[in-house]
Amino acid sequence: PLIVRSRPVNLNDTNVLLAMAATIAFAVTGVLAVAERRVDFFSAIMLGVIAAVGGGTVRDLILDVPIFWSLDLAYIRFAVLASILTFVAMSFFARPVMFSLMVYIDGLGAAMFGIGGAYKAYELGFAWPIGPLMMGVITAIGGGLIRDVLAGRKTLLMSDEVYAMPVVIGCLVMLLTLQFSPEHGPEGLLAGTVIAFSLRAVVIFWSLRLPRWFTTQSP
């Protein structure tokens, strides 16, 4: 595949703050999601960290590259700190305004992780073009899926939350840009991230749900 020489958006020095914000948001929403089930301190931290880095871990296993957090421990450190803070200050993070903020940042995280994951697969020439799309989705939702399975919650895939679709559309925009206009790679990354997050923000703001004809009926 065509290789863009620029670095992916979410790894730029100028964007490292955003990547960390996304990691933190994943950890915070990860802990909040299991809080109602009475988990202990240790399990809460583990589930928060898994929510934050689980998707990228599965992606890197499939890509057969070193796990991203083993090369830069900041991801784990921020995930652990955010999980501890969420556990300790549960009532603060569970406040409607903080919770809403976290849901939006979580959406931004999903957008950035998804686009970043798809781009990583693209750079490695992995199974173009389906591979990068799959890796984007796995990076964005994999951690949440593992957390929900371990916590015994209904997973995202079985809820009517519109969560993965914005990531899919954002990744498609980026991958089409890389395919047909590789010199605009950085713009494609940015556009994909903005579109994925905007769609998710719209879904959150208006509490949109999927239409009925979009779900299976009892046959």
Do residues 78 and 24 make contact, with C-beta atoms less than 8 angstroms apart?
yes
Distances (CA, A) of 136 to 37, 38, 131, 182: 30, 32, 9, 18
Q: Which two tokens stand for residue 185?
A: 């790679």
Q: Is 67 in the site for a copy of itself (CB under 8 A)?
A: yes
Count of other CB atoms within 10 angstroms of residue 8:
21
Binding mask 132-171 for a copy of itself (x = CB under 8 A): --x--x-------x---xxxx-xx-xx-x---xx--x---
Q: Is 130 in the site for a copy of itself (CB under 8 A)?
A: yes
Q: Is 4 in the site for a copy of itself (CB under 8 A)?
A: no
Helix H segments across 72-154? Answer: 74-88, 90-93, 96-123, 130-151
Do residues 133 and 174 make contact, with C-beta atoms less than 8 angstroms apart?
no
Q: Is 66 in the site for a copy of itself (CB under 8 A)?
A: yes
The alpha carbons of the chain give a radius of gyration, in whole angstroms, of 17
Rounded to whole angstroms, the Cα distance separating 179 from 195 reads 18
Collect all residues with Cβ–Cβ distance below 8 Å to 52 and sequence separation of at least 6. Answer: 23, 24, 26, 27, 30, 75, 78, 79, 82, 83, 143
Closer residue to a copy of itself (CB): 31 or 112 = 31
Q: Which stretch binds a copy of itself (CB under 8 A): 16-24, 67-75, 106-114, 172-180?
A: 67-75
Least distance in angstroms from the C-beta of 117 to a copy of itself? 15
Q: Is 13 in the site for a copy of itself (CB under 8 A)?
A: no
Q: Is 190 in the site for a copy of itself (CB under 8 A)?
A: no
Q: Which stretch binds a copy of itself (CB under 8 A): 15-23, 35-43, 112-120, 180-188?
A: 35-43
Residues lying near a copy of itself in the complex (CB under 8 A): 34-44, 46-47, 57, 61-62, 64, 66-67, 69-71, 73, 76-77, 80, 87, 90-91, 94, 126-127, 130-131, 134, 137, 145, 149-152, 154-155, 157-158, 160, 164-165, 168, 210, 214-219
